[in-house]
């Protein structure tokens, strides 16, 4: 599987882990920690810089004892940080580290117990420009390298996600689970299905586990809390549905995202690249030969609530946000935090009047928007609400943020594209006539009151999408042509050229026809003239005879 002349970079990463991470770990943990990188056959034509191997990446599963972390739990970011090229800055050590098992944290402020999400949101919105730029650069660089590699994971647990409210797919979910649990597989996989399948008559878990006693221990069930708090339990995600099911997978894994392989069982299929009819061969090749991963940019959105004041001083959102950056006056506090794959929309909601939204970029006030709303989309989400609102199509590998107004009350507001290193703020001014509403990937509608705003920035947790082998750029163009009929029209017919001899003959024949037509018309005119003259003479002769 390695190209000729290319070095063999296949090794177990667990061999290079620090000693303190090995202590206290079970054999199953060591198995799950292994990863293998295999180059494609066309690797010989790539530059040497594309051959990258992590030296000492950190494991995704945290140690059983709580210790101060110095590296990210996300395997992708760990590989970026530990790359031996020495070109990427070590960003994650400067950022807040997430303990998947820890739900609360004691702040240094009066010993008060603060929810973990609030602490994380506060630190995310205070990233410096350099930290955000370095983080985006690291993810971007790793995404390019992963596009030229096959990552061969030692997969043990598989997370099955089925399209919601579609009974026809429950039977297919059972088939995939049964195939994975079968003893014909080379690895005794642990299969997680949604907890609603436990009592589902179509899935019939009892009859499935009755086929083999080992199925009972290896068939497990997941819920939203398990996926959110313990993503390290899953090595691989398989979705059965459409693009909405993939978005739901991104919603479930709000931090570390396992590689997601999606079977096309929906309507469109921008993100679902694999045919379900061939799922056995697809999964066999993915587990045996490795997968190509496309890292999709995600946004981190934080809802910021305005502090209530006792004074009667007139408030101005623009002055508060710019002033907060200057003199550190705490005018807002974080409320909710979300990782999204498609878009964040701030709109007027059920209000009959249009929204007034203040738009900030980094530390500057960009403009005041009066419209039905604003859609801020990732490149992946450019084909969704952004497209319907008149925004541009964008290749998913572009590191950009797309900003599109929804029915703006002006002729001059056109969609804009910003770099992914900018931090956007969308706020409701204090003098707005009505409240606004924010939605995140079409979920979690949250009301924004005057003075509230939403921060949007590139996330440190990209979405790992498994891609079929082939050219990714060509695949994206084919997807928009297939699903949206992009630039589809009947081709214009070409001119039918002829040679010079045939052209001269045709011209001569046409001139001859004209001469013959002129002669014919002249003859008919002459006959009519002489015929009329003869008729007049006959009339005169008849009159003379009758008079005599």
Q: Can you tell me the distance from the alpha carbon of 497 to that of 426, in angstroms, rounded to the nearest whole number? A: 60
Q: Can you tell me the distance from the alpha carbon of 271 to that of 380, in angstroms, rounded to the nearest whole number? A: 9
Q: Can you tell me the distance from the alpha carbon of 255 to that of 102, in angstroms, rounded to the nearest whole number? A: 14
| Sheet bearing 453-458, strands edge to edge | 332-340, 299-306, 453-458, 424-427, 355-361, 364-371
Q: Can you tell me the distance from the alpha carbon of 510 to that of 499, in angstroms, rounded to the nearest whole number? A: 17
Query: In which element (H, E) is residue 172 found?
Result: helix 170-181
Q: Is the pTM of this model over 0.85?
A: no
* Residue 528 structure tokens: 């009519």
Q: Can you tell me the distance from the alpha carbon of 150 to that of 400, in angstroms, rounded to the nearest whole number? A: 26
pLDDT per position in the chain (548 positions), as tens? 444 443 333 333 334 334 443 444 444 555 444 555 554 454 333 322 222 333 333 334 444 444 343 343 445 445 544 543 334 333 333 333 333 333 344 444 444 444 444 334 334 455 677 777 777 777 777 787 777 778 888 889 999 999 877 888 999 999 999 999 998 898 999 999 999 998 888 898 899 988 888 898 999 999 999 998 888 889 999 999 999 999 999 999 988 889 999 999 877 778 888 999 999 999 999 998 888 888 899 999 999 998 876 666 778 888 888 764 445 557 788 888 899 999 999 999 999 999 999 999 888 899 999 999 999 999 999 999 999 999 999 998 888 999 999 999 998 999 999 998 889 999 999 989 999 999 999 888 999 999 999 999 988 888 999 988 766 667 788 888 888 888 888 888 887 766 666 667 778 888 888 888 888 888 777 666 556 655 655 565 555 555 54
Alpha helices in 331-441, H assignment, sequence order: 385-388
Does residue 173 contact residue 192 with C-beta atoms inside 8 Å? no
Give the strand pairing for 292-296 and 190-194: unpaired
Compute the Cα dihedral for 360, 361, 366, 371 and give only its sign. negative
* Residue 269 structure tokens: 């299929």
Compute the Cα dihedral for 343, 246, 142, 157 and give only its sign. positive
Q: Can you tell me the distance from the alpha carbon of 98 to that of 74, in angstroms, rounded to the nearest whole number? A: 10
Q: Which of 117, 125, 344 is nearest to 247 (CA)?
A: 344
Q: Which of 541, 491, 468, 450 is nearest to 264 (CA)?
A: 468
Q: 165: left (phi > 0), else alpha (psi -120 to 50), else beta?
A: left
């Amino acid at each position: 599987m390695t190209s000729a002349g290319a070095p063999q970079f296949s090794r177990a990463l667990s061999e290079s882990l620090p000693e303190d991470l090995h202590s206290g770990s079970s054999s199953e943990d060591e198995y799950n920690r292994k990863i293998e990188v295999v180059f494609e056959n066309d690797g010989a034509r790539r530059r040497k810089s594309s051959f990258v191997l992590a030296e000492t990446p950190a494991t995704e599963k945290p140690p059983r004892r709580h210790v101060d972390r110095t590296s990210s739990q996300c395997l992708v970011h760990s590989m970026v940080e530990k790359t031996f090229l020495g070109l990427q800055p070590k960003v994650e050590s400067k950022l807040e580290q997430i303990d998947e098992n820890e739900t609360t944290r004691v702040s240094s402020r009066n010993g008060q117990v603060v929810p973990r999400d609030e602490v994380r949101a506060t630190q995310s919105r205070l990233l410096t420009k350099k930290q955000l730029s370095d983080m985006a650069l690291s993810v971007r660089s790793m995404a390019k390298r992963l596009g030229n590699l096959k990552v061969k994971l030692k997969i043990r647990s598989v997370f099955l996600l089925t399209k919601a409210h579609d009974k026809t797919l429950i039977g297919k979910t059972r088939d995939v689970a049964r195939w994975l649990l079968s003893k014909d597989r080379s690895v005794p996989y642990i299969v997680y299905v949604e907890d609603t399948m436990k009592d589902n008559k179509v899935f019939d878990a009892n009859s499935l586990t009755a086929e083999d006693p080992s199925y009972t221990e290896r068939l497990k069930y997941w819920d939203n809390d398990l996926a959110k708090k313990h993503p390290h339990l899953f090595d691989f995600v398989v979705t059965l549905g459409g693009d909405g099911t993939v978005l739901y997978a991104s919603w479930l894994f709000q931090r570390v995202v396992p590689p997601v392989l999606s079977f096309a069982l929906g309507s469109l299929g921008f993100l679902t690249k694999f045919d379900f009819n061939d799922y056995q061969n697809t999964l066999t090749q993915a587990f045996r030969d490795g997968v190509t991963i496309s890292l999709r940019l995600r946004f981190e959105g934080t809802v910021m609530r305005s502090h209530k004041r006792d004074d009667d001083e007139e408030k101005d959102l623009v002055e508060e946000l710019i002033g907060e950056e200057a003199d550190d006056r705490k005018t807002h506090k974080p409320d909710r935090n979300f990782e999204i794959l498609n878009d964040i929309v701030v709109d007027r909601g059920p209000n009959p009047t249009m929204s007034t939204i203040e738009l900030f970029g980094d530390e500057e006030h960009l403009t005041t928007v009066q419209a039905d709303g604003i859609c801020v989309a990732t490149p992946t989400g450019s084909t969704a609400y952004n497209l319907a609102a008149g925004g541009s199509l964008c290749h998913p590998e572009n590191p950009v943020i797309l900003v599109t107004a929804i029915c703006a009350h002006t002729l001059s507001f056109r969609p804009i594209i910003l770099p992914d290193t900018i931090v956007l703020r969308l706020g409701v001014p204090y003098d707005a006539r009505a409240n606004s509403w924010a939605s995140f990937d079409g979920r979690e509608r949250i009301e924004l009151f005057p003075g509230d705003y939403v921060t949007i920035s590139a996330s440190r947790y990209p979405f790992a999408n498994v891609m079929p082998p082939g050219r990714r750029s060509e695949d994206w163009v084919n997807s928009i042509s297939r699903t949206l009929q992009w630039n589809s029209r009947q081709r214009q017919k070409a001119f039918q050229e002829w040679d010079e001899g045939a052209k001269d003959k045709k011209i001569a024949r046409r001139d001859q026809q004209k001469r013959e037509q002129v002669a014919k018309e002249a003859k008919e005119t002459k006959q009519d003239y002489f015929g009329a003259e003869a008729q007049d003479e006959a009339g005169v002769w008849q009159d003379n005879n009758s008079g005599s």
